[in-house]
Chain A
Amino acid sequence: MKKKTSFILIYSLCHFIVDFGCTAFILGRLPYFVYTDNQFLIAMIIYNFFAFAFQVPLGYILDKFKVYKYISIIGLCLIGLCYLINFNAYLLAMVVGIGNALFHLEGGVNIYSVSEKKAFLNGLFVAPGALGIFLGTMFYGHTTLATFLIFLAICLLFFVQKQEVIMKEDLENKLDNSRVLLIVIFIGLSIIVRSILGIKVVYSWKNTFVLGLIYAISMVLGKALGGFLADRLGLLKVALGSFFLSAICLVLGYNIHMFAYIGILLFNMPMAITLTILENTLSKKIACAVGLNTMFLFIGFLIGFINITINNFILVGSVMFAMLAFFIAYKLYLKGEFSNEKN
């Protein structure tokens, strides 16, 4: 039990460090190597592509060779190297992105290996990332601190690698390929909608450090709480309930801060749930499942670039669409006869 707790804590802490380090790199160090805003934008897209979308082919390779250990150390070493060397901006963005992807893949797989198909541990693992990104955005100037933390994370990961990761063979489900594909598509749609809204819903009042920090903490709590509640109340109830309530709260949040905090907390609750469903569905290709989750986030990120304003009507409509997509995916998912599932 103690081992499992330290295992999860270390991965969660390292997740915070990786996201902090990568954000601080993009904002604090990459500007050294680019000359125009356009170049910076391209470098940022390259980073996001390799950090998110590239996880799918990388995950496929890991699943094929069934190697999940030491990958994250390589990832962190790559990020650390980018802090220490001067090179082409695009190449640096690519290497940092790959480093980020490698950590997330190993972390996702290893956490899943001890989670026993539950969502809580997934929630604990993904939650600190939001705080890392927020603090990275705020303190991007402190790149030495970021490098220091990356070295710390490497030490911690060396420690964690000593523990044996056992992938349970009995996690195989009874879903056929077409059903798996449909689940992935529908879960993907709900993730894409969440990703777009996450970029597009911007509160103008959230312009101070303290308000931004509370907002980020709400996201962290939402992700962790989502997994926790889903294990107790059921995946469907928590996901649909949180989607529905978040739509109301996010709309009210434009005028009343408290509702925005509650809204963003609720809005992030399905994250651990969708990740768990993807992992349980693709139980033989866990790294691919982790990669797909982030690839859908990347698709949402790209769509988020389109210049459309999200009014209250579109916001509520999008959330309803995400709810419907999740509902269909969940009904298909249940056919896999997942033993610990509460309906």
Chain B
Amino acid sequence: MKKIKNVFMLVFLFCLVFYKTCLADVVWIDPDSGEFYGGKVNNSPLHYILIGLLVLSIVICSVIIIRKVIKKKK
């Protein structure tokens, strides 16, 4: 489990670095004029990878929590 966590951390770090460059001007509002730019969220592959990662993280964390609860109950 620890290895999985470390890998996850690295993947998130990787996404972190590329997020700024790949999706930088996807959703942006001009603070002065208040106008929206970019419209809807970009449909690039990275965007879906990020969504997948977040969902997977939620699932993994939930599994860890549920396992702990079951262990404590036993």
Contacts and interface: CB of A to CB of B under 8 A. Distances in A.
Contact of B13 (A81, A83, A147, A155): A155
B72 A70 contact: no
A77 B12 CA distance: 11
Interface residues of A, number: 35
A110 to B, nearest CB: 15
A147 B19 contact: yes
A18 B30 CA distance: 22
A232 B28 CA distance: 47
Nearest to B34: A141
A78 B61 CA distance: 12
Interface residues of B, number: 36
Contacts of B61: 70-71, 73-74, 77
B2 to A, nearest CB: 8
Nearest to B42: A84
Interface in B44-74: 47, 50-51, 54-55, 57-58, 61-62, 64-65, 68-69, 72
Best-surrounded residue of B12, B26, B36, B69 (most CB of chain A within 10 A): B12
Contacts of A321: none
Interface of A: 28-29, 32, 65-67, 69-71, 73-74, 77-78, 80-81, 83-86, 139-144, 147-148, 151-152, 154-155, 158-159, 161-162
Interface of B: 2, 5, 8-9, 12-13, 15-16, 19-20, 23-31, 36, 40-41, 47, 50-51, 54-55, 57-58, 61-62, 64-65, 68-69, 72
22 contacts: A28-B27, A32-B36, A66-B72, A77-B55, A77-B57, A81-B51, A81-B54, A83-B27, A84-B41, A84-B54, A86-B40, A86-B41, A139-B31, A140-B29, A141-B31, A143-B28, A144-B19, A144-B27, A144-B28, A148-B16, A155-B9, A155-B12
